[in-house]
Amino acid sequence: MGMRILGIETSCDETALALLEASGPLAAPKFRTLKNIVSSQIAVHKPFGGVVPTLAKREHIKNLPKIFDNLRLKTNDLKLDAIAVTVGPGLEPALWAGIEFARALHAELKVKNPDLKLIGVNHLEGHLYSFLLPKKTGIPNSELRISNVFPAIALIVSGGHTILLKMDSMTKWKKLGETLDDAVGEAFDKVARMLSLPYPGGPEIQRLAEKGNPDVIPFPRPMLRHKSYNFSYSGLKTSVLYYLRDNSDVLRSRNSDSAKGGRRSPRVTKADVAASFQAAALEPLVAKAARAAMEFKARSIILSGGVAANRALRKKLQVESKKLKVNFLAPPMDFNTDNAVMIAAAGYMGHLRKKKRKLAANGGMGI
């Protein structure tokens, strides 16, 4: 028997609700998205250049009932088996907004539906399982040949995390390494700020990098040669800062400058800085995922998290996977950044695993 799960995600700056139909065993779950709503708070946080936790909480509290009413209106029969809500990691005030909403809704609906479950979900497990999600609403995911997936090397890259895992099954994994300081997405966001690009910086850097030359500035490749599977991004961020301090003409450059004749134009453009930074940031991710895949004789490399939306990263991992003859699995484009479909899916997996999580915000929760 399948389950209908309402997913709720408020760990950062997206207020997201989703309705997911889930069935099948842990080794081969079947998912069908019925509704997927993501309300971004980008406009609210933009003037501050980053997410302000108390503002995020206020916006979540304001938006959750509106989004839920909208979802209820558009769903002729909102019969639920479970409510799955993110309990961590993330910004605690923001997480509490989702948890309190989920608790109140659960109490209200339980009157008529005594079997309704309330499941606490680890946000990182949401990302981890997002490769299983179907591309389109209304259409189930295709049968995944699990025999081709494990052992797998999973790379979770987001605004808060940079983690490499070895997965032996859908429920058993071991952390191989993680960032020792900043997360890779955070580095994208901070470098974007240095280049006066709007928040969130990842997609902006990607866009600009596609117009630049990645070989112009030899930024350091943090931890690339280090034998551990850890990462580090604060040194790279500082290198970009120093480069821009010592070459301030770059910030006044236009992307078209190098093409212009006549007046003297700077040789290096902002696009070259973005491209050189992006190449330096991605290389250790790709190299270490590939090295781990070889060491552990993996059958696949699984990518997830907001930075998984980066086209250059996907391309490089795809090429590397082909060389290594392993499968490359990544979420459909809509499910890289935060969403509630992945939370509902991870809630289903947690339910099958009989995993009980405290319904309280845990900002520093690990995987």
Residues that bind ligand KG4 (CB under 6 A): 12, 158-160, 185-186, 188-189, 200-203, 206, 305-307, 309-310, 337-338
Q: How far is the CB of 139 from ligand KG4 (least distance, A)?
A: 24
Q: How far is the CB of 98 from ligand KG4 (least distance, A)?
A: 14
Per-residue tokens: 248: 């301030």
Q: Is the Cβ–Cβ distance between 206 and 191 less than 8 Å?
A: no
Residue (16 or 223) nearer to ligand KG4, CB: 16
Shortest Å distance, C-beta 158 to ligand KG4: 3
d(CA 185, CA 8): 23
Please, which residue, 156 or 271, has the CB nearer to Zn ion?
A: 156
Nearer to ligand KG4, 210 or 295 (CB): 210
Q: How far, CA to CA in Å, does 16 sit from each of 36, 116, 339?
A: 8, 20, 6
Nearer to Zn ion, 123 or 270 (CB): 123
> 81 touches which of Zn ion, ligand KG4, none (CB within 5 to 8 A by kind)?
none
Do 18 and 340 meet the contact criterion of CB atoms below 8 Å apart? yes
* 3-class SS shares of the chain: helix, strand, coil, % to 5: 45, 20, 35
Contacts of 245 (CB under 8 A, 6+ apart): none
Residue 307: contacted member of ligand KG4, Zn ion, none (CB under 5 to 8 Å, by partner type):
ligand KG4
Q: How far is the CB of 77 from ligand KG4 (least distance, A)?
A: 31
Which amino acid is residue 88, in one-letter code? G
Coil/strand/helix, residue 333: helix
Separation CA 41–CA 3 (nearest Å): 30
For the CB of residue 336, give the shortest distance to ligand KG4 in the complex, in Å: 7
239 binds, among ligand KG4, Zn ion, none (CB under 5 to 8 A by kind): none
CA dist 109 and 2 (Å) reads 19
**Phi/psi at 151 (5° precision):** -65, 150
**Contact at 8 Å (CB) between 11 and 98?**
yes
The nearest distance, CB 23 to ligand KG4, in angstroms, is 26
**Which residue ranges make up the site for Zn ion (CB under 5 A)?**
158, 338
89 makes contact, choosing from Zn ion, ligand KG4, none, with CB < 5 to 8 Å by partner type, with none
CB of 269 to Zn ion, least distance (A): 31
Nearer to Zn ion, 134 or 160 (CB): 160
Select 105 or 208, whichever has its Cβ closest to ligand KG4.
Answer: 208
Inter-residue contact 5 to 347 (CB < 8 Å): yes
| Buried-state track 171-183, b at ≥16 Cβ within 10 A, e below 16 | eebeebbbbeebb
Closer residue to Zn ion, CB minimum distance, 59 or 81? 59
The CA-atom distances, in angstroms, between 287 and each of 2, 127, 302, 317 are: 40, 21, 14, 9
The whole-angstrom separation of Cα 5 and Cα 102 is 12
Which residue, among 3, 171, 4, 6, has the nearest Cα to 85 in the 3D structure? 6
Q: Please give the structure tokens belonging to residue 132.
A: 């299983």
One-letter amino acid of 209:
A
Q: Which does 203 bind (CB under 5 to 8 A by kind): Zn ion, ligand KG4, none?
A: ligand KG4
Cβ at position 305, least distance to Zn ion in Å = 6
- Residue 148 CB, shortest distance to ligand KG4, in Å, is 26
Give the residue with the Cβ less far from ligand KG4, 201 or 284.
201
| Closer residue to Zn ion, CB minimum distance, 88 or 151 | 88
